Structure 1
Amino acid sequence: MQAIIQPNAASDALTLTTLPLPVIDPSLGEHLIRVKACAPCAGELLWPKNFPPPNPRELVPCPDVAGVVVSGPEDSPFQPGDEVYARTNYVRPGNAREFSVGVTDELAHKPKGLSWVAAAAIPVSAETAWQILFIHAGIAVDAETDFAAAQTAWNGKRVLVTASSGGVGMWVVQLATLLGAEVIGTCGTANIPLVQSLGAKEVLDYRHTNLREWAEQPGKKVDVVIDCIGRQSLEDAWWTVRNGGVVLSIFQPPKQVCPTDYKGTGVKDVFFVMEPVRRHLEEITKLVELGKCHGMVDSVWPLDQYREAFKRLDSGHARGKIVFDLSLNH
């Protein structure tokens, strides 16, 4: 099979090569998946160096996948021919290859009526947003997959989302709005209409808004900061949270960039790394099928244009997900 591979952890160069098909172990819940589309994550070529896989493995990129089950455990809810999607676990090679492996606890049924490309754009971003809002922000306690309970908890909360037009940010805006939160998003000028269309009540142009000054206006403080970009953006966002609120980042521990003259009290800071969880993605499938939320595709590429695709990804200007469509290779 064809596959994109990173030759070693120290290299950010990629190559298109030929590899043998993976061999699955059904006793471990493994399924062989014929890959129809896959999507990379920003910065993932640095992961092997910064977060070495627990066991040595081929460094195939793209954690998001959509495809068809070829084989798997006899008692699996996913049988041969089933259409599935997932953010697969980092312990195994990624999905920029014609056949890949997914385990029962990370796979979900692909939303009906969605293209392969549209499905591959969803898992990591949507599951991260789900885990932020239903678990790690600590607002919807014990509501991991209970939408009604989470709505009760989030209703009326003010939430600031940085990089709100990015892959994870746009999902946080959509889901938080569905849960009844009042969402304020930050993004660049060109993306303000997009973030408004996703449900944000107020959208701040990060190039022209001083968050500290903005937060000093009456009624502007937020209950929760959800940071998707880190560094200066996260440092500035500290000024917006009320005493007793929450600052959560998926980029870095928020305390690392807390302003030295910040005087807020009782603020909880949270950093976490998402984990692929089947039951979360199945809930997202339901919402997508109901038309309540959607992913966004920036651009679509065949595998053999991997250099151009990753260049687009690294530019930081992608609006939605970069997706490889493997049907373009034949």
Structure 2
Amino acid sequence: MASLPSKMRGIIQPNANSKDLSLTTLPTPTINPSLGEHLIQVKACAPCAGELLWPKNFPPPSPRELIPCPDVAGVIISGPTDSPFQAGDEVFARTNYTRPGNARDLTVGVTGELAHKPKALSWVAAAAVPVSAETAWQILFIHAGIAAEAEVDFETAKEAWKGKRVLVTAASGGVGMWVVQLAALLGAEVVGTCGAANVALVKALGAKEVLDYRSTNIREWAEDPAKKVDVVIDCIGRQSLEDAWWAVRNGGVVLSIFQPPKQVCPAEYKGTGVKDVFFVMEPVRRHLESIAKLIELGSCRGMVDSVWPLEQYEEAFKRMDGGHARVT
């Protein structure tokens, strides 16, 4: 292995109370192979909406450098000798929040969160997948409570989801588009909400019905009992989540990745037996490897909004802050 430079480029957030970023020179990270750590040459990384607020609102359990961009695609430089990921392997991952992110030339990933990059994907396309796809996977296979358990296989999950009606808010967004695709593959009947410009896209991803959130009143739409859904999957929170409560049938599930659903349950809502779920995804290798297989089969796809060099990080984060972009 060629000797590594002692310094590298990286983007850093100066402190938890600041949303400012700067491109600077950082020490090259070192790894502890006994902890499953791998050194990775970063080929592409992706930010996550709102992540510059995380250090203030959800402080890391131990102090660390505040380097953004939790999604990464790159090449293994070194790692444990018994690892399934060896030098030269192409990988992608959502790395754990307890460690610095991946907006740097070299980064660290551990065995339990890495997966082999699908050969069909470019570096940029691969970096746009992990957090959104893994979140959708964990919604459908674990937290919605339909497939029952984390280790259930795809065919078993299909039996559980077949014929279920699902409402997905922000269905053209990063997580929403993966929920739509995976839910449709599992045999669910998907209803998605999005803006008028994205209706055709959401239908192409597998939704049976698409609602323009600007012109459709969900409460009025759901007055027809036949419109009610078994599961609401909310990807945006606030008013969207409040409105979505009207769509779930008695005994159903309201799940949000934005906030606990009960926080915005309408005071006049009279439904019964509805389970409410909020969770934060965890990087899991087996989930990402399963998603990679579906990508290789052409069953699912991600999307890239725009691509920026590391030096143009300010423009990239401004676009992300606009609320309608996936930036890599």
**CA RMSD of the aligned region, Å?**
0.7
Q: 1:215 aligns with which of 219, 222, 225?
A: 222
> Equivalent of 1:279, from 286, 289, 292?
286
Distance (whole Å) between structure 1 residues aligned to residue 65 and residue 190 of structure 2: 41
| Pair 1:40-2:21 in alignment | no
State the 1:145 CA deviation.
4.7
Give the secondary structure class of the aligned counterpart of 1:300.
coil
Question: Is 1:158 aligned to residue 165 of structure 2?
Answer: yes
Question: Counterpart amino acid of 1:322?
Answer: V
Pick from 132, 145, 162 the counterpart of residue 125 of structure 1. 132
Residue 95 (structure 1) aligned with residue 102 (structure 2): yes
- Answer yes or no: is the 8 Å Cα contact 1:145–1:283 preserved in 2: no
What is the deviation of 1:112? 1.1
Report what 2:4 is aligned to. none
Give TM-score, length-normalised by structure 2.
0.97
Do 2:173 and 2:324's aligned partners in 1 also have CA atoms closer than 8 Å? no
Where do 1:238-277 residues align within 5 Å? 238-277=245-284
Equivalent residue, structure 2, for 1:58: 65
In the TM superposition, residue 207 of structure 1 has moved relative to its aligned partner by 0.5
The alpha-carbon deviation at position 59 of structure 1 amounts to 0.3
Q: Which moved more, 1:141-150 or 1:206-215?
A: 141-150
TM-score normalized with structure 1 length: 0.97
Structure 1 CA distance, aligned partners of 2:28 and 2:92? 19
Q: Deviations over 1:223-268 (max 9, x none)?
A: 0000000000000000000000000000000000000000000000
- Aligned match of 1:195: 202
**Mapped partners of 2:150, 2:26: distance in 1:** 43
- The 1-side partners of 2:150 and 2:158 are apart by 9
Asked if 1:316 is matched to 2:308, the reply is no
Over residues 52-80 of structure 1, what are the superposed CA-to-partner deviations in whole Å (9 max), with x where a residue is unaligned?
01111100000000000000000000000
> 1:13: how far off?
0.4
Query: How far off its partner does 1:144 sit?
Result: 3.2
Aligned equivalents of 1:29, 1:310: Cα separation in 2: 31
Contact 2:237/2:259 (8 A) holds in 1: yes
How far apart, in 2, do the equivalents of 1:290 and 1:304 lie?
A: 35
Structure 2 contact 246–269 (Cα < 8 Å) conserved: yes
Structure 1 unaligned residues grouped into runs of 5+: 324-330
3-state DSSP of counterpart to 2:305: strand
- The whole-number CA distance in structure 2 between the counterparts of 1:83 and 1:198 is 27
Which whole-Å CA distance do the structure 1 matches of 2:206 and 2:84 have between them? Answer: 35
2:27 paired residue number: 20
Q: Shift of residue 142 of structure 1? A: 2.6
| TM-superposition CA deviations, 1:118-171 (whole Å, max 9, x none) | 000000000000000000000001353500000000000000000000000000
Give the drift of 1:114. Answer: 1.0
In 1, are the aligned partners of 2:39 and 2:79 still within 8 Å (CA)?
A: yes
Please state how far the C-alpha of 1:217 moved relative to its aligned partner. Answer: 1.6
Aligned position for 2:12: 5
Structure-2 residue corresponding to 1:176: 183
Residue-pair matches, total: 321
- The answer to whether the 8 A contact 2:147-2:156 is kept is yes
Partner of 2:301: 294
Is the CA contact 2:219–2:247 (under 8 Å) kept in the aligned structure 1? yes
Aligned partners of 1:42 and 1:314 also within 8 Å: yes
Q: Distance in 1 between matches of 2:275 and 2:161?
A: 17
Is this contact kept in 2: 1:160–1:224, CA < 8 A?
yes
Rounded to whole Å, the distance in 1 between the matches of 2:299 and 2:72 is 22
* Residues 108 and 278, structure 1, Cα contact 8 Å, conserved in 2: yes
In structure 2, distance between residues paired with 1:239 and 1:7: 43
Query: Percent identity between the aligned chains?
Result: 82
User: For 2:24 and 2:84, how far apart are their aligned partners in 1?
Assistant: 33
**Distance in 2 between the 1:113 and 1:229 partners?**
30
The answer to whether the 8 Å contact 1:145/1:280 transfers is no
Using the TM superposition, give the Cα deviation of residue 218 of structure 1 relative to its aligned residue in structure 2, in angstroms.
3.9
Letter in 2 for 1:15: S
* Greater RCO, CA 8 A, separation 6+: 1
Structure 2: gaps of 5 or more residues: 1-7
Q: How far apart are the structure 1 equivalents of 2:104 and 2:248?
A: 43
